[in-house]
Amino acid sequence: MTISRAAERRALQALDSFAIELPSWGFANTGTRFGKFEQDAAAMTLEDKLHDAGYVHALTGACPTVAVHVLWDFDDPADPESARKTRRLAKKFGVRIGSINPNLFQDQRYKLGSFCSPDAKVREAAMAHTLDSIALGKAVGSKSLAMWLADGTNYPGQDNIRRRFNELKTGYRKLADTMKKGWRGSTLLVEYKPFEPAFYHTDIPDWGTALTLCRHAGPNAKVLVDTGHHLPGCNIEQIVALLLHEGRLGGFHFNDRKYADDDLTLGSIDPYAVFRIFNEIAQFEHDAGKAPGSSKIDYMVDQSHNLKPKIEAMVQTVCEAQKQFARAHLVDRDKLERAQKNGDIVGAETLLREAFEADVSGLLAKWRKARGLPSDPLADLRSSNVIADIGKARAAARKAAGVTSSSSYA
C-alpha cells in the first residue's frame, strides 16, 4: 500500500494524542503463579519502577503515566506523605501517576470474596480500602480508579449469585458517587474476567455484566477491556464497537494471549487483532466527526514478564501499539463506506488488509524524529547496554543491603 499524504497526516495527528500507561508492577519480579525467575535488572522499589517507566517514556515519547498498585507502591496508603512522596518521585523521572489499583485479592480475609463476600465485615473492609484508594488517587493527581475483583465461587451452591451481584451494584454505586463528589473528573474503570481464580462463576465475568454495573453506578463509571481476559475465539473488537456506541468504553489493559490471560507482549500472537480493535476506534471517531485519536480512552499495559527483560518487553508493546494504531488511521473511510453500501465484501476487507500490511516504519520514524526520539526505540535500547548496567547496579545494591531476592512483593 502506498501511503497517501492525507492518510499520513491522519496517522501522525492520531499519534500525537496516543498515550499508553505503563504498569509499575510490570518492572518488578512478578511472573508465574508457581514461582518467579528473577532478573538482576528487575525493580525492587517504587523509585526503581518509576525510573524504568521514565526510561521507556524517554525512548518512545508515548508513556507519560504509570499505573500504581496501592499495597505494592505506597509505604502507607493512609498517610498523605506517602502520596506526596510518590508524586514527587514520578515527576523526578519525567512521568505522572496514572490509574490507582486497589488490592482486593491478596489478604486472607478475601478467601470468599471482597465486595461480594458473604461476611459483611469483609465487605466493609473492602469498601474502606477502596475509599482510601480514592483519596490516594486524588492526592497523587490520578484521574482513574481501576477495579479488578477476584471475586467468584468454585462450586455450585457455594453462594447466592444474585445476592453477590446486588452487593456489587450497591458498592460500585457508592464508589462512583464518592468519586463524583470528591475527585472531580475521575473515572471508575470496571474490569471483567471470565475465570480465574474462581472457576465455577466469576462475579464480573464479561463486558455485559461490567456494563450493567456501570449503568447502575453512574456516568463516571466505564468498562475496562483487558485484551487477555476473554475466552478463545471471542470477538473483542465487536465488544469495543458496542461499548463505544453506548459511551461506556473506559480503557484497555493491553497484552496478548494464546489461551486466556497469558500476559504476553502486545501483538506477539495476533497483531491483526490489535489492528482490528484500533480500527473500530478510528471508525467510531470518523463516524462521530471527531479528530483522529481524540477519544478519551485510557490505553494501559498490563503485563508481568517472567522471561523477557522487563524494559524490553514494555518497549516492544508500546512500539507495536503505535504501529497498529497508525495503521488503523490509514484506512480510507469514505472508500470503505462505499464498499460496505455496495455489498463489496472483498473490497471492504481488502481496504483493511492493505492498511494492516502497510509499512509504517518511515511514518513512525518521522513522528519520532520530530520529537527528538530514536527512530527505532527497541533497537536503540538493545544496543545501549542499559539493562545490563541497571542489573549490575541493582545486584550490587541488593548484595550491599544483604537482600537475597530482587522480588518487591510476594
Q: Indicate the domain borders of the chain.
A: 5-400
Note the pTM of the prediction, 2 decimals.
0.96
| Mean pLDDT for all residues in the chain | 95
Cell of 398: 541488593
Coil, helix or strand at residue 190:
strand
Which CATH superfamily does the domain covering 5-400 fall into?
Answer: Divalent-metal-dependent TIM barrel enzymes (3.20.20.150)
Give the torsion sign (CA, 57, 179, 206, 279): negative
pLDDT band at 405 (very low <50, low <70, confident <90, very high): low
pLDDT value at residue 409: 42
Average pLDDT over residues 403-409: 59
Cell of 101: 489499583
pLDDT value at residue 407: 52
pLDDT band at 284 (very low <50, low <70, confident <90, very high): very high
pLDDT cut 90: percent of the chain above it: 91
More confident residue, 98 or 405: 98
Burial 227-260 (b: 16+ CB within 10 A, else e): bbbbeeeeebbebbbbbbeeebbbbbbbbbbeee
pLDDT band at 142 (very low <50, low <70, confident <90, very high): very high
pLDDT value at residue 408: 47
- pLDDT tens digit sequence for 69-115: 999 999 887 787 889 899 999 999 999 999 999 999 999 999 999 99
Task: Work out the burial of residue 329: count CB atoms within 10 Å of its CB; fewer than 13 is exposed, 13-18 middle, 19 or more buried.
Answer: buried
